[in-house]
Structure formats: structure tokens, C-alpha cells
Amino acid sequence: MLNRLSANQVFLNSIPRMIVIGIFLFPVPYSLFSSNPALAHQVEVAGNVAGIWHIEPDHNPKAGEPAQVWIALTRQGGKIVPLEQGNCQLAVYSEPRQAKALPVLQPTLKAVAVEQYQGIPGAEVIFPQAGSYELELDCQPKTKGDFKAFQMKYTVAVAPGTAKQVSATSNEWGISGGVSAIFEKSYSHSGSKSF
């Protein structure tokens, strides 16, 4: 006679198997979590790519101050997806996000090296003011079949900063958002600064 298991029993019985499969399919080094276990990195899976979002300093960006954002992208099995293999864009939206809202920032992605992750997408972001923001990464493969096109999102709370907060609207040079803050900081210091 067959025993029928409830949906809850089937789910509970499969959790250990899902954890083991997840560890082997998307290995994440312990060092990513060891600095502060309370700040676990957000892992998102889209198609056949997993992404781990990270923001320095310590997932606690401050308005008007530079923050480093990087996304460790891996394929199933743990193989890194470097930025050079995709056409990727990063957009930053204010929360709550309205339908058809334009991004407040579109930072340029650069290939960065963090721990064992070489060539992953990263950018410097200067959030214009305190509040909640959604970061959105869109990637298309440069070579068809390399990976499936994907989109990943990450929400971050930005604290008030000590630097001058900037408007997300254009300044007198026609520069908006985070880039404006770089220029304002550059010109507010005595002496010249080269770019």
C-alpha cells in the first residue's frame, strides 16, 4: 500500500536535498559571509546565471558618498561570468518605483576583481539622497548561447551621508545625479584636481 504524503511533508523532505544541490550548483566562498554574518549577501538566480550583490562599505551606502557596487556572476557549476562576455547595464531607481520611471543613475560598469572573482561587473555609485533604491542589472550575452539573457534586481537602503547631498536633476553643466557629486567634490577642495 502506498503512503500518500501531504504537500508540506514532500516539501519538508526535499529541503535538505535542495540545500545540497544549491551548494554544489552555486558555490559561494565562506569569505563572502565571514566579515559580518548578519549581513548575508543576496543571491539571485536568473536563467542559468546566479548573482551575488555586494555594496561597499558594508552594504551601508551613504547619500552623497561613493559606494562600490559589484555583482559576482556565476554559471551553474560555479564558473564565473566575466563582464567581457556580456553587454550589461546597471540602472538605479528610487523606491517606490513608479511605472515607466526613468533611472536616477546609470553608472558605467567596469570589470573588477574581488577575491577569486576576476572581471565581474562593478561600478562606483553615488546615491543622490537618503532613501530606498532598486539596482537593476540587465545582461545580454555577446556570444549567442554563452548564457541566457537575464535581469537581476537588488534593493538597498541608503543612509544620510556627511557629504553634500546632490539632486538627481541636472546641474549647470547638464550633469545629473552621482556624476554631479564627483564634480562638486572636486571643485569644492582647494587646489586643482586632475581626472
Task: Please measure the distance between the N-terminal and C-terminal CA atoms of the chain and give it in whole angstroms.
Answer: 77
Query: Is residue 165 scored above 90 in pLDDT?
Result: no
Encoded amino acid at 48, one letter: N
**Do residues 142 and 86 make contact, with C-beta atoms less than 8 angstroms apart?**
yes
Domains assigned to the chain: 7-160 (2.60.40.3340)
* 3-state secondary structure labels for all residues of the chain: CCCCCCHHHHHHHHHHHHHHHHHHHCCCCCHHHHCCCCCCCCEEEECCEEEEEEEECCCCCECCCEEEEEEEEEECCCCECCHHHEEEEEEEEECCCCCCCCCCECCCCEEEEECCEEEEEEEEEECCCCEEEEEEEEEEECCCCCCCCEEEEEEEEEECCCCCCCCCCCCCCCCCHHHHHHHHHHHHCCCCCCC
Rounded distance between C-alpha atoms, residue 65 and residue 57, angstroms: 10
Task: Give the mean pLDDT of 22-31.
Answer: 45
Position 172 pLDDT exceeds 50: no
Cα–Cα distance, 127 to 67 (Å, whole number) = 8
Q: Report the pLDDT value the prediction gives residue 6, as an integer from 0 to 100.
A: 55
Please tell me the predicted confidence (pLDDT) of residue 164: 58
C-alpha cell at 176: 545629473
Residue with cell 558605467: 108
- Which pLDDT score is estimated for 150? 94
pLDDT of residue 176: 41
Query: What pLDDT is attached to residue 1?
Result: 47
* pLDDT digits 0-9 by tens, 120-160: 999 999 999 999 999 999 999 999 888 899 999 999 999 99
Instruction: Indicate whether 36 pLDDT > 90.
Output: no
For residue 161, pLDDT beyond 70: yes
Q: Which of 24-33, 34-43, 58-67, 96-105 is the least confident region?
A: 24-33
Q: Does the pLDDT value for residue 41 go beyond 70?
A: no
pLDDT of residue 9: 54
Best CA proximity match to 131, nearest among 167, 156, 112, 150 = 156
Cell of 91: 540602472
